[in-house]
Amino acid sequence: MKVKPWSSHFVLSISLLCVFLLNPSANAKSNYERIVVSGGSITEIIYALGEQSRIVGVDSTSVFPAQATEKAQVGYVRNINVEGVLSLNPDLLLGEADSGPDKVIQQLKNIGLNTHIFSENDHFFAIEKKISKVAKLLNVEQKGRDLNAYIQTDRKALAHILSQATTKPNVLFVLSLKAGQPLVAGSDTSAHDVIKAAGGHNVASAHFSGWKPLSTEAAIATNPDVIITMGRHGKSQSLDVAKIPHFKYSNAVKNNKVLTFNGSYLLGMSPRTPQAVTELAKAIHSGVSYPKSYRLRAAQTSDKKAL
Amino acid sequence: MLQAKNICVKVGSNTLLNETELTVECGQLHVVIGPNGAGKSTLLKALCADVPLYSGNITYQSKCMNDYQPTELAQCRAVLTQNYDCDFPFTVQEIVDMSHFVHNEHVPYEQLLSYSKQALDTLNVTKLANKSFTLLSGGEKQRVQFARVLCQLLPALAQKKPCYLLIDEPTASLDLYHQYQVMKLARDIADQGAAVIAVVHDLALAASFADEITMLEKGKVVAMGKPADILNRAQLQKTYQIDAQLSQQADHLPSLNIAHSAIQ
Amino acid sequence: MLALSQSFIPVGSAKRMLVSGLLIVCFMIGLISLAIGGVDISLSQLVDILSYKEANSLQNAVIWEIRLPRLVLTMAVGAGLAASGAAMQAIFRNPLADPGLIGITSGAALGAIATIVLGNSLLSTFSESYGIYAVPIGAFLGCLVICTLIYKLSSQGNQFTIISLLLAGIAINAIVSAFIGILTLISSDAELRDLTFWGMGSLAGNNFKMIIPSLVVISVCCLFFFKMAKPLNIYLLGEQQARHLGVNVTALKKQAFIYTALCIGASVSLTGMIGFVGFIVPHIMRLLMGPDHRYLMPASILGGAILLSLADILARTLILPSELPIGLITSAIGGPFFLVMLLKTYQSRGF
């Protein structure tokens, strides 16, 4: 069911690179060839554009695809290392809005490095805009348009599912159970956007914004129809969620609607996210189906096994 | 001259000292005695402002103690207390040299060094000079502290200025030989012109060296005068509840004879 | 005194030699620190850059914009933390005391975390008008406010007792950590990451313009600590004893507290939490050259600069091109080193 969409792009990018090498005058105005990326979704976009050979360093949130983690690491997106970046001799720093610390970004600018930090935080409906922007910066605008067209398939499939949906199920997103209380997504979170986009109602959004621990009784009172948990490396938290008193008696556990998604797949606001939301929408609504021609193409995790 | 007029010290509702009077002239060794809890140490602490006065006042050279700058008083008054809890491994030399602090500005450095040497010699601790204070025995510590206190007074003694030495139980952790050596030293310091006030437990030691004795009981002065006048059988019976008297043989210092019946 | 008392050199000059030795080591570490890093710079190139012979290269910018300000800040913060630690250990007459004990660092933490978390809402005008300076300023102000509070609580009438300072510090520490907890609870995901990193300390990203206020405060405080050396020595004999020897004890305690507060505030506000330096450096120096603050203070100042520079070299280079938080290095290296020192001392002293 899962195909590798990257390989074809890779071949394409190599051939394009050859063209550039043979014809250096073409597109000479801003051909960044040594890019440091801070932010996992940008890395994913560049890989999806097939331009990964131009990346010389990534931050620690760049975990998809798995090959990205083999690039030089310059630290966590909010805490990148100034000399680490410089030692890679880059010609562009491309970062998410939360790249930082601010003073380090300032230092890099002072030294004369080209930096482009996105001014807005990620949003489910701004993915195409971001892809276009990255494609423009990399001077591969046609590839950007191609990628966006590819994503429209997912958007259409999502619309198709939502048109069949008759209810708006109550959904709760549980990030982790490690602190004793489940850590839950309120409003103003990426999970909230995703639930909304998939046609669900985020039951925690009425109570708070951001990620907050939820007390036992408040959790029981929310009585979600669907619980979404994060799975990493194939391990699922859904069993644990079903066991704790917070959710033991909820509709979600009763009806076996505890779903496990990979975090970067569902929340990464990357080219894979529209497909992930479509998959989510299919799972939370009953009696809905994908459009006939539609099939899932992108990988949910970066594990090589899963791929 | 050191004078305490009508001083009272209270802690909460407890009266530790009640209308106590004390006058010590320069050149005198004045010993304060009394049973446990009589207020001897409290009196000494009051004299060096370690406890606040409830009423009364204390003057050094007719000037109220509280009107002195801290450094001004430290130049002419030294205090030897009972307990030293210093966890930091200073050498003996360093501890004695700390007494230079108030004299730095008006006494040449070489002079101060020679005072240190003199003080170490006098207390017989010169060979400990480079040892860590924390490694010394209790008696050695006491002598080193006395050397520091002596060194603090030496500039004033040398200039024949009025000066004061307050000592709380200097002999507590010393052997017999050093007990008498230290009291002899206190006597010598008084003879050189200082007013010395010492709290002493041992009545024989008090009788051997004191010019005058103040006897305290329950925070009040019960007797004051020459040792021979005060340390009589009746007074000891009254204050210490013990049948004892001083006796003195030719060529010997006084000693305390205690009746058999006293300890039955 | 262990190291020196057996030697035949007079003790005073041996200590002076040790302090000069530390000065030389400090200078060398500084050079090494300038030469090492993610961007390759050869020694001859470094000399050219420092003597203005080479300009307009990436290497030139890296030295003047990144490494030199960072080195200067590292040394100043190391020196400031170590000197404050020495002063605190003296004032508490306890070699285990630390500025964190009496709430000074927690005040800075509260200020910084409040700025990070409330910077988008309650404190947005403050945060916007000061930009990248907002968190350092917030931390410094937090430190001053909390320290003033502790100071007021512990000075009753003419007294400024160590026990009330300690109790006020512990109480304030508890209250402050509750506030920090509340702020953590209401923080967003991104803010939470920021405050976590603040807690681990970082020397990165500061240019000369940013570090100069801190440099001035730390230097002035170190100068005062240095001047307090003799009274602090005497103070170690005991409070009463020090007063009898002519030391104005109350003033000494107050000064030590104020300078420590300023020094810690100026350091921590720019770097976040850096543990262990203020505690371990004076300790090591005391083992090397005894408790005399006339030597201990300069030795701690130099030792702090050396230790933190070394730690920073490791932080910058161990996982290149990424970077480790400095606070983790100081604790991870400082802790075991300190234990070894402690065990050796106990063995040689026999207690």
C53 CB within 8 Å of a chain B CB: no
Candidates B112, B161, B155, B51; CA nearest to C230 is B112
Burial C30-65 (b: 16+ CB within 10 A, else e): beebbbebbbebeeebbebbeeeebeeeebbbbbbb
Residue C243 distance to chain B (closest CA, Å): 7
Contacts of C39 in chain A (CB under 8 A): 83, 86-87
B50 CB within 8 Å of a chain C CB: yes
C128 CB within 8 Å of a chain A CB: no
* Closest in B78, B83, B84 to C244, CB measured: B78
Average pLDDT over residues C213-219: 94
Q: Are the Cβ atoms of C243 and B70 closer than 8 angstroms?
A: yes
Q: For residues C89 and A4, give the distance between their C-alpha atoms in angstroms, rounded to a whole number.
A: 64
pLDDT exceeds cutoff 70 at B250: yes
**Which residue of chain C comes nearest to B74, CA vs CA?**
C246
**Chains in touch with C (≥3 Cβ pairs < 8 A):** A, B
Q: Are the Cβ atoms of A210 and C187 closer than 8 angstroms?
A: yes
**Chains in touch with A (≥3 Cβ pairs < 8 A):** C
Q: Are the Cβ atoms of B86 and C234 closer than 8 angstroms?
A: no
B48 CB within 8 Å of a chain C CB: yes
Give the model's pLDDT for residue A134: 94
The list of chain A residues with pLDDT below 70 reads 1-30, 178-180, 232-239, 301-307
Domain housing C214: 2-349
Interface test with B, best of C228, C236, C244, C288 (most B CBs within 10 A): C244
Interface test with C, best of A56, A70, A86, A113 (most C CBs within 10 A): A86
Higher pLDDT, B261 or C41: C41
**Chains A and B make contact, 3+ CB pairs within 8 Å:** no
Give the model's pLDDT for residue B243: 86
Interface test with A, best of C63, C183, C189 (most A CBs within 10 A): C189
Q: For residues A35 and A52, give the distance between their C-alpha atoms in angstroms, rounded to a whole number.
A: 9
Residue C333 distance to chain B (closest CA, Å): 25
Confidence of residue C349 (pLDDT cuts 50, 70, 90): low
C-beta of residue C272 within 8 angstroms of C-beta of residue A79:
no
Domains A6-121 and A155-284 share a fold: yes
Q: Per residue in A207-231, pLDDT tens?
A: 888 888 888 888 888 999 999 998 7
Determine how many CB atoms are found less than 10 A away from the CB of residue A23.
10
Give the model's pLDDT for residue A201: 96
Q: Are the Cβ atoms of C292 and B94 closer than 8 angstroms?
A: yes
What architecture is domain A6-121?
3-Layer(aba) Sandwich (3.40)
Domains of chain B, by residue range, sit at 2-263
Give the model's pLDDT for residue A236: 60
Residues 234-263 of C with CB under 8 A from B: 234, 236-238, 240-241, 243-248
Q: Per residue in B92-118, pLDDT tens?
A: 999 999 999 999 888 999 999 999 999
Q: Are the Cβ atoms of C207 and A76 closer than 8 angstroms?
A: no
Q: Per residue in C222-272, pLDDT tens?
A: 999 999 999 999 999 988 899 999 999 999 999 999 999 999 999 988 888
Average pLDDT over residues C134-146: 91
* Closest in C189, C190, C207 to A107, CB measured: C207
Give the model's pLDDT for residue C5: 46
The matching CATH number, chosen from 3.40.50.1980, 1.10.10.10, 3.60.15.10, 3.40.50.11720, for A155-284 is 3.40.50.1980
Question: Does the structural domain B2-263 have CATH classification 3.40.50.12280?
Answer: no
Residue B100 distance to chain C (closest CA, Å): 9
Q: Per residue in B125-156, pLDDT tens?
A: 999 999 989 889 888 999 999 999 999 999 99
SS3 per-residue string spanning chain B? CEEEEEEEEEECCEEEEEEEEEEECCCCEEEEECCCCCCHHHHHHHHCCCCCCCEEEEEECCEEHHHCCHHHHHHHEEEECCCCCCCCCCEHHHHHHHHHHHCCCCCCHHHHHHHHHHHHHHCCCHHHCCCEHHHCCHHHHHHHHHHHHHHHHHHHHHCCCCEEEEEECCCCCCCHHHHHHHHHHHHHHHHCCEEEEEECCCHHHHHHHCCEEEEEECCEEEEEECHHHHCCHHHHHHHHCCCEEEECCCCCCCEEEECHHHHC
A vs C: CB pairs below 8 A: 106
Q: Are the Cβ atoms of C204 and A104 closer than 8 angstroms?
A: yes
Residue B65 distance to chain C (closest CA, Å): 13
Q: Are the Cβ atoms of C230 and B101 closer than 8 angstroms?
A: yes
Would the pTM count as exceeding 0.95? no
Contacts of B128 in chain C (CB under 8 A): none
Q: Are the Cβ atoms of B87 and C94 closer than 8 angstroms?
A: yes
Average pLDDT over residues C295-314: 94
Q: For the packed helices B138-158 and B176-191, what is the interaxial angle rounded to 10 degrees?
A: 10
Q: Are the Cβ atoms of A210 and C194 closer than 8 angstroms?
A: no
Q: Per residue in B25-79, pLDDT tens?
A: 999 999 999 998 889 999 999 998 888 889 999 999 889 988 888 888 999 999 9
Contacts of B94 in chain C (CB under 8 A): 233, 290, 292
Give the model's pLDDT for residue C125: 80
Domains of chain A, by residue range, sit at 6-121, 155-284
Number of separate domains in chain C: 1
Interface test with C, best of B73, B97, B98 (most C CBs within 10 A): B98
Q: In this structure, what CATH number is given to the domain that contains residue C70?
A: 1.10.3470.10
So what's the ipTM on this one? 0.90
The CA-atom distances, in angstroms, between A66 and each of A136, B9, B44, B178, B180 are 25, 80, 80, 83, 87
Give the model's pLDDT for residue C351: 43
Average pLDDT over residues C204-221: 90
Residues 155-174 of B with CB under 8 A from C: none
Residue C213 distance to chain B (closest CA, Å): 34
- Residue B261: is it exposed, middle or buried by C-beta count within 10 angstroms (0-12/13-18/19+)? exposed
Report chain B's terminal Cα–Cα distance, integer Å: 44
